[in-house]
């Protein structure tokens, strides 16, 4: 079951940090090295120093990015750069953003503490695979800072919108944070400290399944941290702070939820032959050619997106050795049979990303796990124009463009207890890191019925 609770958030002090746009960042896993440098330059209190600190020459067990993060966190609290809210709260959060089409959308949700559940319970459902090295690194950071520095992004279903309405009505009149970041996203954060609203929201959320959208590594890291702390503090009890995680929850039945496509851009294909690849693909795909020009490119994109709206599995392909664009539409029966023979469950066979990964990249191109796991060989792009330009400039040998995974597909896969390939979904916009931090002090226990840590 989903057990949510308020907590006393640690937030930037507006008397010390007037412009929070200079200190809030996207999640660590979408930040490039160049962006990391820019966030370091933006402000000495930017949360990049906690979430994704720089490695330095001479780093060792006692002095490294994680220990420095803990030192910054301690110092910023002492200097009241970060101050803790007096009342336990749930934080109601709105984001305004523009889609690629230019349409403006608003996504609503809330940040709370939520009891950690093992995946076996079925209450919290992942949909993407994780990597041990990432979880190990995140655990070292968590053990150094003893805090949830950023929330996991998850979804729940509420057709009546009752949870959102309850928290929206119970929030304080004025937001504690309102700003527009350097990517044009507008963020607004309110506290909900009203006990009646908190209790009502908690009851409404109880027994709802939770679907992790973004932050699988952070969630599994929190489970590992919980298990570690249980051994150290065996008498802490079920309401110990480490039994909970900071979670951003958004209703999948609302408008404003956007999943961007994740296109695959390939390098280092060496002496591969695009013509031979297309010949091999004809037994499994209907192939259409769009000979180069901006008009044809636009038509190619239109047909790709139209196929997705019709429920077809369609993959766009082009290479830097040809002026033509190609559209590969899966022959449903043939592709499904092939995937079934490979042991792919039925819930996954209709996913564009699975067909691209298992049929095109692995079978038809013969790319190995090692090749596909290397950032030197495969990059992921979300914007159509950037993907096309990357191939046309010669930066990539080939590009495979797909339609975004639909929200109902995420729900179906997670409900079935299955896992999608890496980089199957990209929920947009990301939830900001630095809006609020949740401390995991072991010397206090929360009163989760109306109080909080």
- The pLDDT tens digits of the residues spanning 102-160 come to 789 999 999 999 999 999 888 999 988 888 999 999 999 999 999 999 999 999 999 99
Q: pLDDT confidence of 271, banded at 50, 70, 90? A: confident
The predicted structure's pLDDT at residue 442: 67
- Which of 194, 243, 252 shows the shortest CA–CA distance to 222? 243
- Residue keyed to tokens 């940090």: 17
Q: Which is higher by pLDDT, 449 or 220? A: 220
The predicted structure's pLDDT at residue 448: 45
Q: What is the CATH number of the domain that holds 314?
A: 3.30.1760
Residues 359 and 329 both lie in one domain: yes
- 450, pLDDT greater than 50: no
- 250 near 153, Cβ under 8 Å? yes
Number of domains in the chain: 2
- Take residue 44 and report the two structure tokens written for it: 């000495």
Residues 352 and 283 both lie in one domain: yes
Residues 268 and 200 both lie in one domain: no
- 449, pLDDT greater than 80: no
| Length of the chain, in residues | 453
Residues 212 and 310 both lie in one domain: no
Average pLDDT, the chain: 92
Residues 84 and 173 both lie in one domain: yes
- Take residue 97 and report the two structure tokens written for it: 């953003």
- Position 417 in a domain: no
- Position 26 in a domain: yes
Q: pLDDT confidence of 445, banded at 50, 70, 90? A: low
- Which of 302, 283, 284 shows the shortest CA–CA distance to 294? 302
Distance CA 18, CA 26 (A): 19
Residues 162 and 289 both lie in one domain: no
- Position 413 in a domain: no
Residues 228 and 342 both lie in one domain: no
Residues 72 and 206 both lie in one domain: yes
418 contact partners, CB below 8 Å, separation of at least 6: 127, 345, 347, 348
Residues 133 and 272 both lie in one domain: no
Q: Please, what sign has the CA dihedral across residues 223, 228, 230, 236?
A: negative
- Position 119 in a domain: yes
The predicted structure's pLDDT at residue 452: 44
Distance CA 348, CA 350 (A): 6
Residues 29 and 82 both lie in one domain: yes
25 contact partners, CB below 8 Å, separation of at least 6: 31, 39, 46, 47, 48, 51, 432, 433, 434
Percent of the chain with pLDDT over 90: 79
Helix, strand, or coil here: 337? helix
- 446, pLDDT greater than 60: no
Q: Which domain holds residue 284?
A: 262-403
- Position 421 in a domain: no
In this predicted model, what pLDDT tens digit does every residue of 290-347 receive, in sequence order? Answer: 987 766 788 999 999 999 999 999 999 999 988 899 999 999 999 999 999 999 999 9
* Alpha carbon of residue 143 to chain centroid: 22
Residues 185 and 201 both lie in one domain: yes
Prediction pTM value: 0.90
Segment 419-448 shows an average pLDDT of 82
Residues 97 and 203 both lie in one domain: yes
């Amino acid at each position: 079951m989903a057990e949510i609770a308020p907590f006393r958030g640690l937030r930037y002090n507006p008397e010390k940090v007037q412009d929070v746009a200079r200190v809030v960042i996207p999640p660590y896993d979408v930040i490039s090295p160049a962006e990391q440098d820019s966030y370091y330059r933006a402000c000495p209190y930017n949360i990049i120093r906690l979430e994704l600190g720089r490695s330095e020459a001479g780093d060792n067990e006692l002095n490294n990015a994680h220990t420095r993060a803990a030192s910054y966190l301690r110092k910023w609290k002492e200097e009241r750069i970060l101050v803790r809210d007096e009342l336990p709260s749930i934080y109601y959060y709105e984001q305004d953003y523009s889609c690629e089409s230019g349409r403006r959308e608003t996504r609503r949700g809330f940040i709370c503490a939520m009891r950690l559940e093992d995946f076996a319970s079925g209450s919290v459902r992942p949909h993407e695979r994780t990597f041990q090295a990432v979880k190990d690194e995140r655990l070292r950071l968590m053990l150094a800072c003893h805090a949830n520095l950023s929330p996991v992004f998850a979804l729940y279903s509420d057709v009546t919108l009752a949870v959102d309405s309850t928290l929206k009505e119970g929030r304080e009149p004025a937001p504690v944070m309102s700003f527009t970041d350097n990517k044009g996203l507008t963020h607004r954060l309110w506290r909900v400290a009203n006990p009646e609203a908190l209790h009502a929201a908690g009851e409404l959320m109880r027994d709802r399944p939770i679907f992790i959208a973004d932050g699988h590594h952070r969630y599994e890291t929190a489970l590992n941290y919980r298990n570690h702390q249980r051994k150290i503090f065996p008498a802490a009890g079920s309401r110990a702070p480490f039994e909970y995680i900071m979670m951003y929850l958004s209703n999948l039945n609302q408008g404003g939820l956007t999943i961007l496509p994740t296109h695959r851009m390939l390098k280092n294909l060496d002496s591969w032959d695009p013509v031979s690849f297309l010949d091999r693909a004809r037994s499994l795909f209907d192939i259409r050619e769009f000979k180069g020009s901006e008009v044809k490119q636009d038509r190619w994109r239109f047909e790709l997106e139209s196929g997705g709206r019709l429920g077809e599995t369609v993959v766009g392909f082009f290479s830097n050795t040809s002026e033509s664009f190609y559209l590969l539409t899966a022959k449903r029966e043939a592709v499904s049979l092939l995937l079934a023979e490979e042991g792919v469950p039925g819930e996954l066979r209709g996913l564009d990303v699975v067909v691209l990964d298992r049929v095109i990249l692995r079978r038809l191109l013969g790319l190995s796990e090692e090749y596909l796991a290397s950032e030197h060989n495969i990059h992921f792009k979300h914007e159509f124009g950037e993907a096309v330009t990357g191939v046309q400039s010669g930066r990539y040998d080939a590009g495979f463009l797909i339609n975004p995974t639909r929200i109902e597909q995420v729900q179906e896969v997670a409900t079935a207890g299955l896992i999608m390939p890496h980089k199957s979904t990209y929920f947009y916009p990301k939830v900001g890191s630095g809006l609020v931090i949740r401390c995991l002090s072991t010397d206090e226990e929360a009163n989760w019925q109306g109080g909080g840590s």
